[in-house]
Structure 1
Amino acid sequence: MKLKALPLLLAGLALSAPATVLAAGPTVYGKVNASLQKFDMEQISGGQVVSERDDWQMRSNASRIGVKGDYDINESLKAVYKLEYEISVDTGTNSNGREFAARNIVGGLQGSWGTFLFGRHDTPLKLIQEKVDRFNDLQIGDMSNFLVGEFRRDNMIMYTSPDFRGFNLTAAFSPGESAIGADGKEDDSLADSASFALTYGAGTDLYLALAHEQNMASNSSAGSSDITRLVGEVKLGAVKVGALYQTARQHKSEDAIAGVPSGINQFGSSFEKQDAWLLSGEWAATKAIVLKAQYGYSESKPLTANRSDAEATQIAVGIDYKLDKNSKFYGYYAQVDVEGDSAYSTGKPSDKTIGVGYEINF
């Protein structure tokens, strides 16, 4: 079946699903997020600007469509499912020329004991960021522009516990399926990659979370990381303040940490560790207007001996104008500056953007 038929498939699921499914009802959902951006970007190598961008572009920011739902197998057990795909609002296709790119695609079971899922999914460590990354999915504003650890893994098996006095535990693992590691050995165990997260107060005025993962990388990147992340957010009336700290290390001495942002890679092609933090906040000035800001920093140590660290700094400010609970206009400015060892590159490359956009959730 061609991916072009996916919208018809989703509609068909909603209209013609069996009676057992319709009892709970599959839900077609999604998000359209498009922005008009002014970019000022550069890449420096050997003291020379080797590529740069100074133009206006329309961008699709993780727009998506999906179907999700559950139905009762018996009085104590439910089947649950989600199939979610990224769509490109600006061009209709992604960088690989495809109309749809897989996001979280899972099936599973749910009971009083918790939820068990299998498939492709964000790792528990990625999930704990909640809303602390105020510019999530936006160009240059997303925190993945200066830190590692934002992984969505294939072949995930994940369990989430029921709420216990505000606490929830999520644990996930993924078999290596005989992939060859940096040490030349096969990852052939049941749980070659693992991720764990403990959260407290999700959806309340005080949210805290701690996560750790071992031997984790994206599905396409080389290297592998061991990462520990701590997140917190407090709501004080109309103000929310959040913070994130994490430390990432190479999984083995032969490895490099995975998923290093391209701007940092100008100062070394591989790194053995990275420490990073982020502070963010927002203020609901009125019922419709929300002001946002965040500041982030990371320090990455190259694998090559006697080379200075690569430092990345992000600053972002923005405003949301809510039309209702599901749609908004927004504007923002974001900048990421990187500097490192002059043996790799000189200067201080700076990527900047200012954008206005519209987001609707359905």
Structure 2
Amino acid sequence: KGENRLGDSITYTSNSYEGFKVLATFIAEDDVDADNGYSMAVTYGDSALKKSAVYASIAADSEVNGYDVVRASIQGKVEDFKLGAMYQTQEKVDGSAEGDGYLLNAAYSMGKNTFKVQYQAMDFDDSDDKTAISVGVDHKLNKNIKVFGFYSSFDMDNNVDQDYLGLGMEYKF
């Protein structure tokens, strides 16, 4: 939860003030009986880590897609390594389900390649725990084109485990 791409919304992003930004979003519900959602965030630094060595954010969703979510994340760069962490808590608006989770990731750049690894875990109140590990590599062909591949394995506790292999190409215009 918390990764929503919803329509019918208005977003405000402030100018940067000494590295800090404030973001606010109002999400209008399509259903007349549903409550509108709100999302707020405060960020610090540059998310691409090109202008700052650290990026941090805290965000909260209220009644967005049926959930209240709070998420804190941080990432930093040390030489050729990028390290990141995130913590999230989520609760269904009607109070019927909640969960807490975290993820840790690292990326190492070597020449035209970036090697990546990520571990994530989510603990739900109904004891249905889920974990995943992903490994991947990006290879820059030139300034605008990269090819990438990854493998992810999900341990779904009370459900069937899932494995994914992905290959792709990204072209920036």
Give the C-alpha shift of residue 354 in structure 1: 2.7
The question of 1:279 aligning with 2:104 is answered yes
Match of 2:16 among 156, 163, 174: 163
> Which amino acid in structure 2 is aligned with residue 249 of structure 1?
E
Match of residue 40 from structure 2: 196
> Which amino acid in structure 2 is aligned with residue 244 of structure 1?
M
Aligned counterparts, 1:1-362, within 5 A: 148-176=1-29, 179-181=32-34, 187=35, 192-202=36-46, 203=49, 204-217=52-65, 224-253=66-95, 256=96, 272-286=97-111, 288-302=112-126, 309-340=127-158, 349-362=160-173
Is the partner of 2:8 in helix, strand or coil?
A: strand
Give the C-alpha shift of residue 178 in structure 1: 5.0
Q: Which structure: greater strand fraction?
A: 2
Q: Tell which has more relative contact order, 1 or 2 (C-alpha 8 A, sep 6+).
A: 1
Match of residue 269 from structure 1: none
Counterparts of 1:156 and 1:249, CA distance in 2: 22
Counterparts of 2:63 and 2:163, CA distance in 1: 33
Match of residue 35 from structure 1: none
Give the C-alpha shift of residue 177 in structure 1: 5.2
Counterparts in 2 of 1:159 and 1:333: CA distance versus 1, 3 Å: same
Percent identity of paired positions between Structure 1 and Structure 2: 30
Is the partner of 2:94 in helix, strand or coil?
A: coil
Counterparts of 2:88 and 2:172, CA distance in 1: 30
Give the C-alpha shift of residue 174 in structure 1: 2.2
* TM-score normalized with structure 1 length: 0.45
Q: Which structure: greater helix fraction?
A: 1
CA RMSD of superposed structures (Å) = 1.6
| Structure 1 segments unaligned to the other structure (5+ residues) | 1-147, 182-186, 218-223, 257-271, 303-308, 341-347
Counterparts of 1:178 and 1:328, CA distance in 2: 41
Counterparts in 2 of 1:252 and 1:205: CA distance versus 1, 3 Å: same
Listed one character per residue, the Cα deviations across residues 207-261 of structure 1 (whole Å, up to 9, x for unaligned) are 00000010011xxxxxx101000010000011000111100012234xx5xxxxx
Counterparts of 2:167 and 2:28, CA distance in 1: 42
Counterparts of 1:333 and 1:214, CA distance in 2: 33
Give the C-alpha shift of residue 360 in structure 1: 1.5
Counterparts of 1:298 and 1:161, CA distance in 2: 32
State the aligned residue count: 169
> Which amino acid in structure 1 is aligned with residue 171 of structure 2?
I
Is the partner of 1:324 in helix, strand or coil?
A: coil
Counterparts in 2 of 1:162 and 1:355: CA distance versus 1, 3 Å: closer
Is the partner of 1:180 in helix, strand or coil?
A: coil
> Which amino acid in structure 2 is aligned with residue 213 of structure 1?
D
Counterparts in 2 of 1:285 and 1:193: CA distance versus 1, 3 Å: same
